[in-house]
Chains A and B, each alone.
Chain A
Amino acid sequence: MNDQYLHDVIRDAEAAFEASPETRTQTLGRRSFLKLTGLAGGGLALAFYLEGGTQSLAAQASGEFAPNGFIHISPDGSILIYSKNPEIGQGIKTAFPMIIAEELDADWEDVRVEQAPIDQAVYGRQAAGGSRSIPSGWDQMRQAGAVARAMLVAAAAQEWGVPVSECRTEKSTVIHSGSGRRLGYGELANRAAALPVPDPKSLTLKKRADYKLLGTRVTGVDNYKLVTGQPLFGIDQVVPDMLYATYTKCPAPGGRVGQANLDEIRSLPGVKHAFVLQGNGQLAELRPGVAIVATSTWAAISAKGQLRVTWDESEAAKDSWSAAVKRARELAKQSGSEILGETGDTAKAFSSAAKTVEAFYSYPFLSHAPLEPQNCTAWYRDGVMDIWASTQTPQRGLTSIAKMLDIPEDRITIHQTRVGGGFGRRLMNDSMCEAATISKQIGAPVKLQWTREDDMAHDFYRVGGFHSFKGAVDDSGKLSAWEDHFVTFSSDGQKPVTGGNMSATEFPLPLIANFRLTQTLLPLLTPCGPWRAPRSNAVAFAGQCFFHELAVAAGRDHLEFLLEVMGKPRWLDPGSSRALNTGRAADVIRLAAEKAGWGKSLPEGRGLGLAFYFSHAGHFAEIAEVSVEDNKKLTVHKVTVAADVGPIVNLSGAENQCQGAVIDGFSTMLGLELSIENGRVQESNFDQYPLLQLAHAPEVEVHFIQSDFPPTGLGEPALPPAAPAICNAIFAASGHRVRELPLSREGFSV
């Protein structure tokens, strides 16, 4: 069940991770801005800029200044900023415009934000995933703002007949320092539009100390619309005369449609069409299934309830989680068949160890369960396809549809909507492919709606996994050896499934003198995919709890033990500013300890737990304060987060991401697991997949060290340390070592 689409998504994401900041900057030279410029304003504006000097009639008529695809300044002084990437709850629709507005010296009150059209030629890559929007867009957004500002300053200087160097800007106004004369950006828009676009590299960008907007708290640009219930999401989109569809697939991935009671379904009230689609062989695009098209969502859902399908499961998944757990426990007794990395001499270190610890850790499969169930509205007519979708990867969706339905890419428009939760689920565009196919088949606009049960049954799951650890401390109480036999899953017998991969670069392996990482692959056909902080979300739990076990075995304070392993400040990969820096790590660890009161005396049954993790280029230390009662009733009072992700764009949004990630982490570790039997996920809705409620959410206090390193993303890296910090606190409070998630499996409750 090799899935090329998913493979491409991951490869794309990884390639962008690996691109150095220098490489990224090089793509943002003068040419790309000229290119952006023209296309942003439409064909006429393109002609104006590329031919140089002659303003287009269209631009003259409107008096608009559109120096690039991101900024439109109107003569009335209003500033429209386009945010290019999908908003999935990570706050990018507010953050990107803030970066532009900072360099533009725009008054935030003048700024209005709209989602940019999906257009690769104008905006480059438009996607949300991998906590990469901020690091990859940082230079591009700053330069977009700086270019526009330079043109406005030049326009004012020309108007006044003074040198540019005598002009400064603040709050959407150019000011002549000598005379105090002022011109608003709106007043300058027309003149600025006639000037050549400067080379962004010729412009000096602001220093952090000069920021006025960045680092402050700005409320989300869509918040008014959200709290008044306006239609922002994919599910809210309406096309005149559209029909409503459901699509039913085999509960075991890989199953095909055998027989279905289509005639009966067609006779039901409101049902217009019922038909079988064979799929295109790609799990992440179009799986085989039965489409029901009706006059309302309820009619379609209601008819789905009457649908009877006999599935052909000859090639379907037969996976069993309980069997995998049993097999992994057997394998734990031996070393893995494949060595992923080793350094030093673990055998020697174990033979001279003062203490040796062995432990088996496991974690389950998870669903993404975004609160907006998968859905998509598609409208095919006269060879043209329009798509309205809550997607993280609109451009990939466009490519899929073009190929699958043989429609030229320039006849397809993706209308990006706000996304009701991504978490990695919407890197895949399966609902988009289904809706497009159905619309093309019936020749009418259609809104496809998945039920919650569809969403949980047809996810690309966070893969479960197992770690059989053996570690040692020497006579001086130092960590001296670490072995991890990682038991994971593979669909092709060659490489692990997405999110189930490890390497010798995973924290803390590069910091340990003697380590050995081996791997065993178990077969799996259930589709897996990136789930918020892929790999790290699971490995951090197992590894950082076991790390604490070694500190305890050594009789050492966890904080001191962790700082000792970090050693002297250095980059682990001197060539990359996205690598772990042990100095930055130690700083956040110390800050978390200080803010949480590490070492303070606590009553019986209450304890502090610490974990550090490094993922998505973010350095995060978290300390949980937890009470455990005799009946294993658990209270997480507070989690203190200390983070270094470079400069902060929107302080409010940044804190929100950290608070949410920690609560997501606790919600997940507490009670979420999927049991898979006969290829089917058994859980189907939130009664069986109980997300945390407000009553049990810990207070999350967030502290940032704002460094001058290039900024890195915040959607993911605050999550991985939450689970080990809370488990280590449970140990401190109760002496109970959690080695299996979720906590409910070991009898804990809130």
Chain B
Amino acid sequence: MPTLRLSVNGQEHSVEEVDPLTPLLWVLRDSLGLSGTKFGCGGGFCGACTVHLDGSPVRSCSILATSAVGRKITTIEGLAGDDGTLHPLQEAWIEHDVPQCGYCQAGQIMSAAALLESNPVPSDAEIDAAMTGLCRCGTYNRIRQAINSAVQNMGNTSARKEGGA
């Protein structure tokens, strides 16, 4: 079986003897010990396993680890700054006390972080379209609040569009 070279959270990793059909999710969790990325459905439906591939959100249960070779992978463990400074979304998640069971929240935050990276001032409709991950506990009101709060804290208040879309 091949050895994979993966770039995860700014570090190069060499993973030996990987079945070429292994989803990225299980390489992250089992081989690299990055268990912040969660297994929820294995079919790309729930979004608990969302990570960034070159800055774009992907559902890591549904892409092969081999397809991530040569690309920049960011997981929830790598979202904060190197000095431990939390991403504004992480701060907002704590401030708004978003989690209940908390299992989906890493995936929710990674989805939101990718959204704000490409669209720093999303409208409600754009948040709706980007945030398709499932929360079984129903924390959606607070997820929306936390995203809006992070947008403001990132200094994008003035640019905030009026009304909805």
Contacts and interface: CB of A to CB of B under 8 A. Distances in A.
Say whether chain B's binding surface is mostly helix, strand, loop, or mixed: loop
25 contacts: A89-B101, A90-B100, A219-B97, A220-B99, A223-B93, A223-B99, A223-B102, A226-B102, A226-B105, A228-B86, A229-B34, A296-B31, A297-B30, A418-B101, A421-B136, A423-B136, A452-B40, A664-B136, A685-B42, A686-B41, A687-B43, A693-B132, A694-B133, A694-B144, A697-B138
Interface of B: 1, 19, 21-23, 26, 29-31, 33-43, 45-46, 48, 75-77, 79-80, 86, 89-90, 93-95, 97-106, 109, 127-129, 131-144
A690 B152 CA distance: 32
Contacts of A685: 41-43, 45
B127 to A, nearest CB: 7
Interface in A207-239: 217-220, 222-224, 226-233, 235-236, 238
Contact of A659 (B23, B95, B128, B138): B138
Given A89-B137, A220-B102, A229-B75, 9 more contacts: A220-B97, A220-B99, A226-B93, A297-B29, A373-B39, A659-B139, A661-B138, A667-B138, A693-B128
A685 B40 CA distance: 10
A371 to B, nearest CB: 5
Identify which of A223, A297, A657 gathers the most chain B CB atoms within 10 Å of its CB. Answer: A223
Contacts of A667: 138
Contacts of B100: 89-91, 656-657, 660
A235 B26 CA distance: 12
Contacts of A421: 101, 103, 136-137
Contact of B48 (A371, A453, A699): A371
A229 B100 CA distance: 15
Given A298-B19, A659-B141, A664-B138, A372 B80 contact: no
Nearest to B110: A229
A413 interface: no
A89 B105 CA distance: 12
Contacts of B19: 269-270, 298-299, 302
Given A220-B99, A419-B101, A686-B41, A663 B33 contact: no
Contacts of B26: 296-298
A229 B8 CA distance: 14
Nearest to B101: A89
Contacts of A91: 100
Identify which of A297, A302, A420 gathers the most chain B CB atoms within 10 Å of its CB. Answer: A420
A660 B102 CA distance: 12
A637 B98 CA distance: 21
B48 A228 contact: no
Contact of B21 (A232, A302, A697): A302
Nearest to B100: A89
A546 interface: no
B75 A219 contact: no
A224 B86 CA distance: 9
A298 B30 contact: yes
B102 A418 contact: yes
B45 A89 contact: no
A217 B35 contact: no
Interface of A: 88-91, 217-220, 222-224, 226-233, 235-236, 238, 244, 269-270, 296-299, 301-302, 369-373, 418-423, 449, 451-453, 652-653, 656-657, 659-664, 667, 685-687, 691-695, 697, 699-700
Contacts of B22: 296, 298
A18 to B, nearest CB: 28
Given A657-B100, A691-B136, A697-B141, A226 B45 contact: no
Contact of A372 (B103, B133, B141, B143): B103
Nearest to B90: A227
Contact of A695 (B35, B86, B129): B129
A660 B35 contact: no
Contacts of A372: 38, 40, 101, 103
Contacts of A663: 138, 140-141
A659 B97 contact: no
A109 to B, nearest CB: 15
A686 B136 CA distance: 11
A695 B131 contact: yes
Given A233-B103, A691-B136, A227 B109 contact: yes
A244 B38 CA distance: 16
B143 A222 contact: no
Contact of A694 (B38, B75, B143): B143
Contacts of A220: 97, 99, 102
Contacts of B90: 227-228
Contacts of A699: 141
Contact of A700 (B34, B104, B105, B141): B141
B140 A687 contact: no
Contacts of B143: 694
B39 A222 contact: no
A660 B137 contact: yes
A348 to B, nearest CB: 46
A235 B38 contact: yes
A92 to B, nearest CB: 11
B1 to A, nearest CB: 7
Contact of B139 (A233, A296, A423, A660): A660
Contact of A228 (B41, B76, B141): B76
Contacts of A228: 36, 76-77, 79-80, 86, 90
Contacts of B36: 228-231
B138 A223 contact: no
A653 B103 contact: no
B39 to A, nearest CB: 7
Contacts of B103: 233, 370-372, 420-421
A225 to B, nearest CB: 9
A652 B45 CA distance: 29
B97 A373 contact: no
A269 to B, nearest CB: 6
B94 A238 contact: no
Contacts of B43: 452, 685-687
Nearest to B105: A226
A664 B97 contact: no
Contacts of B131: 693-695
A530 to B, nearest CB: 16
A235 B39 contact: yes
Contacts of B93: 223, 226-227
Contacts of A224: 94
A642 to B, nearest CB: 17
A87 to B, nearest CB: 8
Contact of B136 (A233, A371, A418): A371
A370 B101 contact: yes
Nearest to A453: B42
